[in-house]
């Protein structure tokens, strides 16, 4: 709709009570049934004008109404009324709650709304009870709308009972089929699941097709497979020997071996050095590691591995092997054993 | 407001496919590239410290994390966490999720890499035929590595199942949060996440991913301190004996924990303050607000990164 009550009355929102009254009279004269040939239209318009006047002439109601719209020229709707209320000017309106109880709403009754940001659903709160219904024009995803209409046997093309304003939104209210709007979560879930199942089957087909595409495109040929297999077997054999060597000779753990293989740790030529001061031995070269023992000042240790990034040495002292910072050792030396062997 | 006795609303949000895709992209970027990537960087840092034993050439984006079961289980948990985060954010942004949306967008999220890979291979085949053979061989090798090992194949399949389940499960949670009548955040202004306008996230991803590292460090340090405490606790002192010489490691662990708790508290406070500044809760001149935003969002992370090891 895009019109505020002030727009309909063709006045400014700062209009005084006198000006509002004047505008009301002007509108009443304009749309009076005696002056219009289309009686149905003028009746409806008069109801609307009377209703608007009942709001704007009441200071309290006017104050609330003003708080629901902005007057910066854009009429952008304020959406922060999670628990605001509105007025409705339908002749009479029946709503049905989940237990099948009917309530009749009268013209000018105050109805409380809980409006969600997308305005797709409105909770009606009337006389302390809550009613859910769907009354906004753009409620449905077109696909859902059809499903929904089919499920409840409702014709959306029929003439609505009346319209109502909420901020600058327009609501369409259907009277006769109000009960038809009720659909249980269970029924809705069935509709949703039917669609979900269809999507799942579609997705599954796409995945199978995609998988087949990848399989046919990237499947290694038998020669490639043979080559990759022998390559990995050879690698595995070589790796096993290498790992065994590091384990036996340098007391390396599986984790340390992976760093040795990726050249993050250097394998040292087992030079000997002394501990500068009492120090903790850790399980990794970083201070985030856990302490696994301690060595006293002046003790002689063997340097096994070196991590240049963290500047830590793996040492051996009696039966204890672990990492210490470079600053704890006296002139530590690590000659790369692999390079020395070359 | 108790609405349990009332029949539920029947409408679904009438978002267009374009709007849904926008939300999908926003959720995927935030969950995967910002927060998920923060976790990956943290894991790589732990590995560089020698903790995980995955070799220096390890990348957290690898499908298989080494040959040990527990690391691959950890990988699945991280993938499930990131997918859950995506699901939650997508549900939160979409407000209402139908079952078909859940399935479609989860599939898109989980298999998006394959989609790109397929597109990439088509582009290479058609426009760069010289590189096509090399590219195909590379992918073939990766496929072979996964399919030839029962261990690898099992964990790859498990990770996809976990991602699927987690994403679908948390989509509903995200929608429930935003639809909770008592939850007022993001309901007053359109296009917000935690009340911050969407376009701010184009630069906020820097402090978010950085500060996430500090929070992850905090979690790790707590675990580390507990283990150190148990391992080095001076049990003898309980019975009045000598307390030995195991004080140092414990002191270091306590010191580290204290420091990170201090910094993490500061970080949480700063991020909260930055949010208040961005949503206009503070009454300041725009220039001051800009300075605060730059300070908290860019300068502080840079200083911490440069002068401390807290983010790594």
Q: Where are the domains positioned within chain B?
A: 17-183, 200-307
Which pLDDT belongs to residue A96? Answer: 46
- CB-based burial of residue B153 (10 Å sphere; 0-12 exposed, 13-18 middle, 19+ buried)? middle
Percent of chain A with pLDDT over 70: 60
| Contact residues, chain B, for A181 at CB < 8 Å | 10
Residue B86 above 90 pLDDT? yes
> A208-222, A263-277, B139-153: which has the highest mean pLDDT?
A263-277
Average of per-residue pLDDT across A272-280: 87
Residue B80 above 90 pLDDT? yes
Integer CA distances (angstroms), B68 to A338, B77, B268, in order: 27, 15, 35
Residue A91 above 50 pLDDT? no
- If contacts are CB pairs under 8 Å, which of residues 161-190 in chain B contact chain A? 179, 181, 184, 186-190
Which pLDDT belongs to residue B36? Answer: 87
Q: Longest Cα pair distance anywhere in chain B, in angstroms?
A: 79
Which pLDDT belongs to residue A78? Answer: 40
How far, in Å, CA of B278 to CA of B293, rounded?
8
- Say which residues have a Cβ less than 8 Å from residue A18's Cβ, sequence separation at least 6: none
Closest to A290 (Cα-Cα) out of B274, B311, B51, B205: B51
Residue the block writes with tokens 């139908």? B98
Average of per-residue pLDDT across A90-105: 48
0.80 surpassed by pTM: no
- Is the Cβ–Cβ distance between A253 and B53 less than 8 Å? yes
What is the average pLDDT score of chain B? 80
Over residues B25-45, the pLDDT tens digits come to: 999 998 988 888 888 888 988
Which pLDDT belongs to residue A30? Answer: 86
How far, in Å, CA of B312 to CA of B89, rounded?
27
Over residues B44-73, the pLDDT tens digits come to: 888 888 888 888 888 888 888 888 899 999
Report strand pairing: A122-126 vs A110-115: antiparallel
Half-sphere exposure at residue B109, Cβ-oriented, CA atoms within 13 angstroms: 40
Weakest-pLDDT range from A41-45, B43-47, B245-249 = B245-249
Give A69's pLDDT tier (boundaries 50, 70, 90): low
- Is the Cβ–Cβ distance between A284 and A272 less than 8 Å? no
Closest to B16 (Cα-Cα) out of B8, B6, B24: B24
> A89-98, A196-205, A301-310, B129-138: which has the highest mean pLDDT?
A301-310
Percent of chain A with pLDDT over 90: 5
Weakest-pLDDT range from A263-272, A326-335, B5-14 = B5-14
| Contact residues, chain A, for B100 at CB < 8 Å | 192, 195-196, 198-199
More confident residue, A164 or A132: A164
Q: Work out the angle at residue A121's Cα, subtended by the Cα atoms of residues A117 and A123, and round it to the nearest 5 degrees.
A: 105
More confident residue, A170 or B235: B235
How far, in Å, CA of A48 to CA of A52, rounded?
6
Classified by CATH at the fold level, domain A242-341 comes out as SH3 type barrels. (2.30.30)
Q: Which two tokens stand for residue A230?
A: 């022998």
Question: CA end-to-end span of chain A, whole Å?
Answer: 86
Cβ-Cβ contacts under 8 Å between A and B: the total is 191
* A284 interfacial to chain B (CB closer than 8 Å): yes
| Contact residues, chain B, for A230 at CB < 8 Å | none
Q: Which two tokens stand for residue A196?
A: 């979900």
CB contact under 8 A, B12 and A219: no
Residue A97 above 80 pLDDT? no
Which pLDDT belongs to residue A185? Answer: 45
* CATH code linked to domain A5-184: 1.10.287.110
* A115 interfacial to chain B (CB closer than 8 Å): no
Weakest-pLDDT range from A54-63, A157-166, B81-90, B133-142 = A157-166
Which pLDDT belongs to residue B232? Answer: 67
Beta strands in A127-275 (DSSP E): 129-133, 162-166, 169-173, 265-267, 272-274
Which pLDDT belongs to residue A159? Answer: 59
- Angle at which helices B129-147 and A185-218 pack, to 10 degrees? 110
Give B234's pLDDT tier (boundaries 50, 70, 90): low
Give B128's pLDDT tier (boundaries 50, 70, 90): confident
| Contact residues, chain A, for B143 at CB < 8 Å | 214, 218-220
Weakest-pLDDT range from A128-132, B23-27, B289-293 = A128-132
- If contacts are CB pairs under 8 Å, which of residues 41-70 in chain B contact chain A? 46, 48-58, 66, 68
CB contact under 8 A, A307 and B103: no
Which pLDDT belongs to residue A241? Answer: 85
What are the residue ranges spanned by the domains of chain A?
A: 5-184, 242-341
Complex prediction ipTM = 0.71
If phi > 0 it is left, if psi is from -120 to 50 it is alpha, else beta; for residue A298 that is left
How far, in Å, CA of B168 to CA of A245, rounded?
49
Residue A139 above 80 pLDDT? no
CB contact under 8 A, A258 and B136: no
- Is the Cβ–Cβ distance between A129 and A212 less than 8 Å? no
Integer CA distances (angstroms), B303 to A233, B38, B78, B298, B299, in order: 49, 18, 29, 9, 6
Specify the long-range contacts of residues A55-62, CB closer than 8 Å, at least 24 apart.
Answer: A55/A5, A55/A87, A56/A5, A56/A6, A56/A9, A56/A20, A56/A24, A57/A17, A57/A20, A57/A21, A57/A24, A61/A87
Which pLDDT belongs to residue A149? Answer: 54
């Amino acid at each position: 709709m895009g019109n505020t009550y002030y727009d309909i009355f063709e006045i400014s929102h700062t209009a005084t009570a006198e000006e509002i009254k004047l505008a009301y009279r002007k509108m009443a004269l304009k749309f009076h049934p005696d002056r219009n040939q289309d009686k149905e239209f003028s009746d409806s318009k008069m109801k609307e004008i009377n209703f608007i006047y009942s709001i704007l002439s009441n200071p309290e109601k006017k104050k609330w109404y003003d708080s629901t719209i902005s007057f910066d020229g854009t009429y952008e709707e304020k959406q922060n009324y999670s628990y605001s209320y509105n007025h409705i000017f339908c002749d009479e309106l029946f709503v049905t709650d989940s237990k099948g109880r009917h309530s009749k709403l009268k013209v000018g009754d105050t109805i409380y709304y809980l409006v969600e940001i997308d305005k797709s659903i409105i909770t009606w709160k009337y006389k302390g009870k809550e009613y859910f219904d769907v009354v906004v024009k753009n409620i449905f995803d077109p696909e859902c709308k059809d499903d929904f209409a089919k499920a409840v046997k409702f014709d959306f093309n029929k003439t609505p009972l009346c319209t109502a304003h909420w901020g600058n939104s327009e609501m369409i209210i259907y009277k006769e089929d109000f009960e038809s709007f009720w659909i249980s979560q269970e029924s809705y879930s069935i509709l949703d699941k039917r669609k979900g199942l269809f999507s799942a089957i579609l997705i599954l087909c796409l995945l199978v097709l995609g998988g087949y595409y990848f399989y046919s495109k990237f499947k290694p040929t038998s020669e490639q497979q043979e080559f990759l297999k022998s390559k990995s077997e050879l690698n595995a054999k070589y790796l096993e020997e290498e790992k065994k060597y590091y384990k036996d000779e340098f007391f390396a753990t599986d984790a340390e071996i992976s760093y040795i293989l990726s050249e993050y740790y250097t394998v040292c030529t087992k030079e000997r050095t002394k501990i500068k001061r009492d120090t903790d031995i850790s399980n990794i070269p970083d201070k985030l590691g856990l302490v696994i023992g301690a060595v006293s000042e002046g003790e002689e240790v063997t340097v096994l591995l070196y991590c240049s990034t963290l500047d830590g040495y793996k040492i051996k002292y009696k039966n204890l092997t672990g990492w210490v910072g470079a600053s704890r050792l006296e002139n530590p030396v690590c000659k790369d054993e692999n390079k020395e062997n070359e | 407001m108790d609405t349990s006795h009332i029949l539920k609303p029947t409408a679904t949000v009438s978002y267009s496919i374009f709007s849904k895709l926008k939300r999908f992209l926003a959720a995927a970027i935030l969950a995967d590239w910002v927060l998920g990537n923060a976790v990956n960087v943290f894991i790589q840092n732990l590995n560089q410290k020698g903790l995980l034993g995955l070799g220096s050439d390890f990348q957290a984006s690898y499908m298989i994390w080494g040959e040990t079961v527990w690391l691959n289980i950890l990988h699945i948990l991280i993938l499930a966490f990131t997918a859950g985060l995506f699901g939650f954010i997508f549900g939160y942004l979409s407000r209402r999720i139908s079952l078909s949306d859940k399935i479609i967008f989860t599939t898109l999220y989980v298999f998006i890499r394959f989609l790109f890979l397929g597109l990439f291979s088509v582009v290479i085949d058609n426009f760069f035929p010289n590189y096509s053979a090399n590219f195909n061989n590379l992918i073939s090798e990766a496929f072979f590595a996964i399919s030839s090992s029962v261990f690898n194949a099992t964990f790859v399949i498990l990770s996809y199942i976990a991602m699927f389940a987690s994403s679908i499960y948390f989509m509903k949670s995200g929608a429930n949060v935003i639809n909770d009548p008592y939850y007022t955040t993001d309901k007053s202004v359109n296009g917000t996440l935690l009340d911050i306008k969407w376009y701010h996230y184009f630069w906020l991803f820097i402090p978010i991913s950085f500060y996430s590292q500090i929070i992850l460090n905090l979690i790790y340090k707590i675990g580390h301190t507990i283990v150190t405490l148990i391992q080095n606790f001076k049990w003898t002192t309980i019975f009045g004996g000598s307390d030995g010489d195991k004080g140092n490691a414990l002191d270091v662990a306590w010191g580290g924990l204290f420091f990170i708790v201090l910094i993490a508290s500061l970080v949480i406070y700063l991020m909260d303050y930055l949010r208040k500044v961005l949503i206009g809760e503070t009454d300041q001149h725009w220039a001051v607000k800009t300075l605060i935003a730059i300070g908290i969002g860019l300068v502080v992370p840079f200083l911490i990164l440069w002068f401390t090891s807290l983010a790594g």
